[in-house]
Amino acid sequence: MQIINLHKSFGKNQVIKGVDLSIEQGKLTAILGPNGSGKTTIIKSILGMVIPDKGEIIFDGENIKKHWNYRKKLNYLPQIARFPENLRVKELLALVKVLRRQESDEQEIIDRFALGNDLDKPLRNLSGGTRQKVNLLLTFMFNNPMIILDEPSNGLDPVALLALKELISSEMKKGKTILFTTHIMSLVEDLAEEIIFILEGKVYFQGTQPKLMELTSERNLERSIAAILSSNGVNKP
């Protein structure tokens, strides 16, 4: 997938400023950056949920503009999922399967996140962590070639976070293209083959973890990110 000269403003706020990216097929790529840097806007542009002011997004060799069928090849986990509160988990699963009209394999995900006892519970009764597990279930139950995850670790306890890492690793072995945002550096260090760092709507860096550490002369990823933010005046008092 290629993103070419992408621009997006909301009113007077220019969020994306000429972004050029190449997302390699079959790799796991992490998009990093401080809050408000434009990460989620890029993801929503890929999904067709945000219409760019300028630029192109090429998926499978075709410009996605006015061609929506490509989204059938994507699984997406939003940063904040909003469910009908009165539905039970199993009713939500049934509804999503009807809407997507795709073959699904939910049992392996249910077992991985120990959701079996929650299927009959109304969504309004679930804790934040369990809701995120349901969100992950809805994302991974369909077998599509590209997976986009926006802050997938939100609300997860250490056991569930380990289950998430194992699930992502399993999908990587199947040759899936995975794109994700996160503030949890252990996820990036353990899984990411490619890093994209976005700062103030522009691509500051794209490459491997060793290249980023070499660029910043730091010994680990967390310190590299902190060095970039500090050198650009981000989070300074």
Domains of the chain, earliest start first: 2-231 (3.40.50.300)
> pLDDT band at 231, cuts 50/70/90?
confident
Q: What is the pLDDT of residue 148?
A: 96
Judged against a pLDDT cut of 90, whether residue 236 lies above it is answered with no
pLDDT digits (tens, 9 = 90+) for 32-73: 998 889 999 999 999 999 999 999 999 988 999 878 889 889
CA distances from 155 to 130, 165, 185, 229 (A): 8, 14, 15, 25
Cβ–Cβ under 8 Å, residues 129 and 156: yes
pLDDT digits (tens, 9 = 90+) for 111-160: 999 999 999 999 999 999 999 999 999 999 999 999 999 999 999 999 99
Strand locations in 87-156 (E): 146-150
Q: State whether residue 40 is helix, strand or coil.
A: helix
> pLDDT band at 207, cuts 50/70/90?
very high
- The residue with tokens 């999908």 is 171
> pLDDT band at 76, cuts 50/70/90?
very high
Q: What are the respective helix, strand and coil percentages of the chain, to the nearest 5? A: 40, 25, 35
**Average confidence score pLDDT of the chain:** 91
Q: In what order do the strands lie in the sheet with 74-77?
A: 74-77, 146-150, 177-181, 28-32, 194-199, 202-207
Q: What is the pLDDT of residue 94?
A: 93
Q: What is the pLDDT of residue 104?
A: 85
How far is Cα 98 from Cα 77, in angstroms, rounded to an integer?
18
CA distances from 205 to 50, 193, 202, 216, 229 (A): 23, 14, 9, 11, 12
How far is Cα 113 from Cα 43, in angstroms, rounded to an integer?
26
Q: What is the pLDDT of residue 237?
A: 37
Judged against a pLDDT cut of 80, whether residue 235 lies above it is answered with no
Judged against a pLDDT cut of 70, whether residue 98 lies above it is answered with yes
pTM for this structure? 0.91
